[in-house]
Every structure is written in C-alpha cells, then in structure tokens.
Structure 1
Amino acid sequence: MSSSPSAPRDYYASAAALSGAVAMAAAMGFGRFSFTPILPGMISELGLSASASGLIAAGNFTGYLAGALLASLNWATGRERRTALAALAANAALLGLMAATDDILIFTLIRFLSGVASAFAMIFTSSVVLGHAARIGGERIQSAHFGGVGLGIAASSALVFALGQIAPGAWRLDWLAGGFVSLAAFVLVFTRLPPMSFGPAVQAREPRLAWTPAFSRLILSYGLFGFGYVVTATFIVAMVRQARMGAGIEFLSWFLAGCAAALSLIVWRPLMQRQGLGGAYLAALTLEALGVAASVLLHGPIAPLLGGLLLGATFMVITAYGLRLARDLAPESPRRAFSLMTAAFGLGQIAGPLTAGSVAEWTGGFTLPSLMAAGALTLAALIAFPLRRAPIMTGT
C-alpha cells in the first residue's frame, strides 16, 4: 500500500482506525493481558504457586519495559510499519509457544519476549496510526486505536471462557487459540495498515529535563500506579477461582474490565474537559483505588465484578492522561519525560506481581496484596493532589 496525494482521505482514516484497533487488541489485549484469564487453569493443572505466577507475569512486564526503552532509540525511524508488523507476527508465535512447555523459567522467558513484542507492536503501530490521526484531525481514529486494548481484553476473556466449556482445564488450548486469533489479526493489519503519513522528521536534541516539583510528583505517582493496578490486572481471575465463584464470574470479572477499558476514554472526556487533565487523573486514581479495595473487601460475586469494572474504567485513562500531563509539565523535553514515565511505570508493574505473588503465598490469599495495591493507588492520588490545579492544557 502506498500513499499518494490523490488517495481518498476517508479510506486512510478508516484503514488506520480499523488496523490500529485490531493491532492493539492483538498486542495488548491478547499478547499482554490474556495471561490473566488463562492463569487459573495453569495454576490448577500445573500446580503453579502464587510466587511462580508472579514471576511469569513480571517477566512479561520486564520485557515490555525493555521493548519500550529500545523503541525510544530511533533505530526504526522510517521502518515503523515493517517493525510493527514483525512484532505482531512474533506476538502471535510467542502466544502459541506458551503451550509447548510446562517449565517456569521457559514460561518466564517466553513472556519476556512477548512483552518486547507487545511494546514494539504498540509503539510502532501507534506511530503510524496516530500520524494519520494528526494529519486528518480525526479523534475517532485515536479512540478506536486505544479502545482496541479493551476490546482485546474482552475478546480474550470470552475466548478462554468458551474454550473452558468445551475442554475444561485445557490451558494449552487457550494459548494456541490466542496465538491463532493474533495471527489472524496480523494478516488483517498487514493488508490494511497504511504507511506513515509523512516522512521521518529529524529529531532535535532535547534540553535536559527540568525536575520541577510538579513533574517529580507526577513521576512518583505514575510509578505507584504501575504497582497498584497490576495486582488486580494480573490476579483477579485467579482470585475468583480461589473463591470458587464459578466460571461465569471468572469470565465476567475480566470481560467487564475489557468492555469498560474500551469505552473509558470516551466516557471520561467530558470530565477531563471540565476538570482538566490533573483533575481527571486524580479522580481516576481515586476510583481505581476504591475498585481494587472493593475486589477483596466486599463479599460474593459483586467484589470481583465491581473490581474488574472499575479497573477497566480507569487504567487506560490514568495511562493516557498521565502521559499527557508529562508532556504539559515538561514541554521542552517531551521525549525524555515520556521515557522517564515509562521507566517509572515499568518498575512499578514489575514489582507489583512479584510482591503480590510472594505475599499471597505467605498469607494464603490475595486480600493483603490487593489492599497493598489499593494503598499504593491511594498514595499515588495523594501525591498527585496538587496537580489538580496545575496550569495545563486540556486539548486532545
């Protein structure tokens, strides 16, 4: 596919929106987050401990951090589309490869490589898709693109549930099916993803980042968010399995999270326009802390269902608004700011499952780890509280 001045504008807009949504669904919804609904089956069939489960999850998050940092080095400039497609193909293969072993260290290595592939697919697909969004001025492209994460989460949850009705406990089939779906997604993106809408720009060297009190607060808050969200995002279905609430609640807890994530940026936009990025970021952190706490403090099915719903309704919002805050608080050094935010978030979400797995194994459940995560989110909100009045832009 090649770009030309006479190419229909609407065609490229539709192609970018569709391919972006599908790519994010495959790379993030399946590649990164399908571990959550598949994990209970692995625990049941392989006898994985909570600490081993946390290690495998942390391997994926470490790979994602490594991939994000590697992608920031500009080695793929001019080759964004090819790199994104290669990463999507690798993502599909690595998902299927999880079915070929039962060794914890090999699981961790595969998930590490899957994290690198997810990061590359997300970053380089976004470079292509958001380039078209900026040229065309189409906010619907951005909404469809990032909404793909939630759609992928919901689809992976539904797939695991459906396969569980056919072949209970067949966790290897879950990974193979996820790999097949991701391969189909790769084929679709290969045929529809437009080229970059503009030539590679020469990136000037940014000045050293100014560590203002506001930016320091944001970095610390964002790292704590990485720790706080990931405990529920990794273990919520395992928590439902441990409580023996049934396959239907296991499915719904993560399915609702995906559906809420898909719509969250659209739903939160009016509040952001009224309260600003800082106010919306603070509100989302507070709501997520309540959801994480509710997932273990309430009784019965309402606990995981509400916890999953509130997690999905907030984690993409906090991610998107946090990065936009960084851009506004460090306008002279946005790339450095994004790199530091990525590093802080990455360290938090690596520490989260490692800590939660160890504490859960020690206490025999996920109540204390979840309350620790809710505490981290509450602390993140308190640290970010002064940012609600920060003189920032609220544009798209």
Structure 2
Amino acid sequence: MSHSAENTDAELVARRQILATSIAGALAMAVAMGLGRFFYTPVLPAMMTGLGLGPAEAGWIASANYVGYLLGAVLAAYGWAEGIERKVALLGLAATALLLLAMGVSSNVAILAMIRFLAGLASAFVMIFASAIVLSHGLAANKPWVQSSHFGGVGFGISISAIMFSLIILADSGWRMAWIMAALLAFAGLAVVVRYLPRDVVRAGPAKKERPLTWTPALLALTIAYGVFGFGYIVTATFLVAIVRDGGGSSLFEAGVWLATGIAAGPSVAYWMPAVRRIGLANVFALGCLVEAIGVAASVLVPLPVGPVLGGVLLGGTLVIVTAFGLQLGRQLVPESPRRALALMTAAFGIGQILGPVVAGYLADWSGTYTWASLAAALGLLASAAIVVVYCRPPAA
C-alpha cells in the first residue's frame, strides 16, 4: 500500500472516530439534559392535575433537581474522577434512565423531590465529565463543530421528548407513561454512548490534578453573572408549558411550544458561532441574555399563541449558547484550571436554578399568575448581561 493511501485510510478512520465521538456526546447530553433535566417541563401540567400539585409544590420538586445538580457540580470540582471520567459519565446516564422510570411510578411529593435530586446529581456528572471527554477530542482533532453538535444534543433531547409527548397525548396514555417512555429513550441513548464514547480525555501528559483556582475580579463577576443567569432562565424553562395551560392552551399546543423550544436549541451553538468570532464570547453571552429576557417577558405579556411560542423559541435559541459560551469564557479567564472553573461556575448556576422555581412558585401562588415570576426572571437576565459587559473580559493574547 502506498504512503498516500495509508494517509488517506488514517484520515478516514480519524474522521469516523471524531464523528462517532460527536454523536456519543450529543446523545449523552440529550439523555442527561434534554430528558433527565428538562422533561419535567412538558409533563409538569399533567402531573399537577393528576396529583393535585400547586405551583409552589411543583417549584420545590423542580428545585430539588437543581440542588442535586449543584451538589454534583461541587463534587466534580475535586480531582477524584481524574482518569475515570468515562465510567462516571456512563454511570450518570444509567442512573438518569432509572430515575426517569422511577418518576413514572411515584406519587408522593417527597419521593418525587428525592428522585429529581438524584437526577440532578447524575446530570451534573454527565454534563461535566462527558463534556470533558468529547470537547477534548474535538479540540485535539481541530474540529470546532464537535462543540456545536455536543451541546446541540440538549435541543435534540428536548425535541424528541416533545414529539414523544405529543404521541402520548394523542394516545391518551397519561403522564406516567410519558416518564416510562422517556426512560426507554434514555436506555436506548445509553446503549449508543457506551459503544462510541472515547475511553479517555485527550491530555498532553498523564492524568493529573489541575492547579488550584485563582480568583480574579473578572472570574468572580462571571461566576455571579452565571448564577443570576441560572435564576433567570430556569423560571421559563420550568414553567413554560404550565404558562401555556394557564392561558388556556391545549395539550397539543403545550407539546408544540416545547417542540419549538427544542428545535431552536438544537443548532443554536452553530448559528451563534459567527457572532462569537465577530464580537467575542463576553458580548455574545450578554446578547444571549438580552434576547432570552425578551422571550421570557413575551411568554407572559404577549397573548396566546404568539407569546409562549416566541418565549419558547427565544429560550431554546439562547439557553444552550449562554450556558456553553459562559463556561468557555471561564476557561479563557483561567486557562490553567479549566475544569475547576467549569465546576464552580456550574455550582453558581445551580444556586440560581434552586432559587428560581421556588421564588416563581410562591409568586405564582400569591398572584394567581406566572407574570410576576417571569418578569423577575427577565430582570435577572438583564442584570447578568450587564455584569458580563462591564466586568468580564478574557486576558489579552
């Protein structure tokens, strides 16, 4: 075989490997985030009706998930998983599938909250450790599209779950069957990830602990802004479908709004990348928060059908990119400790998410509407944008 033919074969193998890696990453995010984290949103109104839950109780169950996510992020900041990232990510995905199944056979609020807590813990581990594996391979192969496809898995998971939920509505199968079907989808995704997720993070040398994190004013400001963003986005991400039902929308329209959210989220990293190259990560983070604030406000201020659809599209089109680009900006600010920065920023994000549904639930119970909760969330998003614009700039190259 000629030298050129050998090179061609090697390039073909490498191309297939990075494609398989990107598929594994997208499916891991679809299962852990699209299903494990966000499937609660479309099922919530039916659960509230079936179990007699009020907005405050629904908010507490949602917040339990984010407490778990916060704990997972904090635990991931330590070096215990160095060299075993794949095992931890796969265990997190298996736990996610089992916990989705458990949601379909439970009724007690405390038990549901505990299940969602454990699901949050699992999704944080998958988010951090699967991302570490997949993004390192994309970087080593000089394939920036791997990042887009990886985080696009969140939107793919949301879209698939919305379609599945629509079919369940048409079949009149109930919210319990929705959770059971989500579990089956999660197990199917897990099987593919087990087959194609690479074994290790790409490293320049052997696995070793990162240097302790150095807190700079810019990193501190970004971490605060990231936490405020967590509060701002999660109100709509949790209650969007409930807002539709509260406004008199049909069950199919509820699923349609969630499908629009997922479709907008899927390619969002790819179509925001030109803006990153043009104006930088910090400005795109701020612009994403501004666009999302408009959607959050529109979801309650603009009547059906336009308001919730606009809210869902703008939420989907920004939630993944603000999350991903915020973490990327953190890596730029402290390149010597990227995983610690990612984990602690995710922890701040988790604190915001914990507060969001609880505050929104009590505001909704007090006012009888989701309007005030959504407007508070929109103000939080505007504050997050302002903090990043004023204080956060990566060091000059």
TM range (shorter): over 0.9
Task: Give the structure 2 partner of residue 356 of structure 1.
Answer: 360
Residue in 2 aligned with 1:99?
A: 104
SS of match in other structure, 1:100:
coil
The answer as to 2:259 corresponding to 1:255 is yes
2:140 is aligned with 1:135:
yes
**Residue 44 of structure 2, aligned match among 39, 42, 57:** 39
Cα distance 1:244–1:54, how it changes in 2: closer, same or farther (>3 A)? Answer: same
> What's the counterpart of residue 177 of structure 1?
181
Decide whether the 8 Å contact of 1:276 with 1:393 is kept in 2.
Answer: no
Deviation at 1:333, TM superposition (A): 4.0
Paired position in structure 1 for 2:161: 156
Tell me, in whole angstroms, the C-alpha distance in 1 between the residues paired with 2:26 and 2:342: 22
Structure 1 residue runs without a partner (length 5+): none
Distance 2:119 2:213 in 1: 33
- Farther off after superposition, 316-325 or 123-132: 123-132
Q: Does 1:84 align with 2:85?
A: no
Paired with 2:61 and 2:305, the residues of 1 have a C-alpha distance of 27
1:108 paired with 2:108, answer: no
Structure 1 runs of 4+ aligned residues shifted over 6 Å read none
1:207/1:108 CA distance change after superposition, 3 Å = closer
Residues 2-41 of structure 1 mapped to structure 2, 5 A cutoff: 8-41=13-46
For 2:118 and 2:96, locate their aligned partners in 1 and report how far apart those are by CA, in whole Å: 9
Deviation (angstroms), 1:278? 1.5
**Cα offset for 1:379?**
1.5
- 1:238 maps to which of 235, 242, 259: 242
Letter in 1 for 2:169: G
Note if contact 2:329-2:394 (Cα within 8 Å) is conserved in structure 1: no
Give the structure 1 partner of residue 313 of structure 2: 309
TM-score by length of 1: 0.92
Give the AA of the match of 1:318.
V
Point out the more displaced range, 113-122 or 325-334. 325-334
Q: Relative to structure 2, which stretch is displaced further, 340-349 or 321-330?
A: 321-330
Q: Which amino acid aligns with 2:57?
A: A
Residues 312 and 361 of structure 1: CA distance in aligned 2, closer, same or farther (over 3 Å):
same
1:122 offset after TM fit, Å?
A: 2.2
TM-superposed CA distance for 1:332, in Å, is: 4.3
CA-based RMSD of the aligned residues comes to 2.0
Distance 1:258 1:392 in 2: 34
Aligned position for 2:206: 201
C-alpha separation between the residues in 2 aligned to 1:141 and 1:182?
A: 22
- Shifted more, 362-371 versus 202-211: the winner is 202-211
Amino acid at match of 1:49: G
Partner in structure 1 of residue 131 of structure 2: 126
The 5 A counterparts of 1:205-284 are 206-207=211-212, 209-212=214-217, 214-284=218-288
CA distance in 1 between partners of 2:394 and 2:199 (Å): 36
> Matched residues in 2 for 1:27 and 1:324: separation?
20
Partner amino acid, structure 2, of 1:123: I
Structure 1 residue 273 displacement after superposition: 0.9
Contact preservation (8 Å) 1:23, 1:189: yes
Structure 1 residues 23 and 337, CA gap change in structure 2 (3 angstroms): closer
Shift of 1:204: 5.0
Residue-by-residue CA offset, 1:49-89 (whole Å, 9 max, x unaligned)? 10110000001111111112222222222222222222111
Contact persistence 1:64–1:118 (CA under 8 A):
yes
Q: 1:126 to 1:205 in 2, by over 3 A?
A: closer
Write the letter of the residue equivalent to 1:215. Answer: L
- When residues 27 and 317 of structure 1 are mapped into structure 2, their CA distance, relative to the original with a 3 A threshold, is same
Q: CA 1:393–1:14 in 2, change beyond 3 Å: closer, same or farther?
A: farther
Task: Give yes or no for contact 1:65–1:346 (8 Å, CA) kept in 2.
Answer: yes
Residues 14, 367 of structure 1: CA spacing in aligned structure 2 closer, same or farther, 3 A cutoff? same
Amino acid corresponding to residue 334 of structure 2 in structure 1: A
- Worse overlay, 303-312 or 332-341: 332-341
Rounded to whole Å, the distance in 2 between the matches of 1:380 and 1:259 is 25
CA apart distance, 1:251: 1.4
Alignment TM-score, normalising by the size of structure 2? 0.92
- Kindly provide the amino acid, as one letter, of the partner of residue 359 in structure 1: L
How far off is 1:207 after superposition? 4.7
Partner Cα separation in structure 1 for residue 382 and residue 11 of structure 2: 52
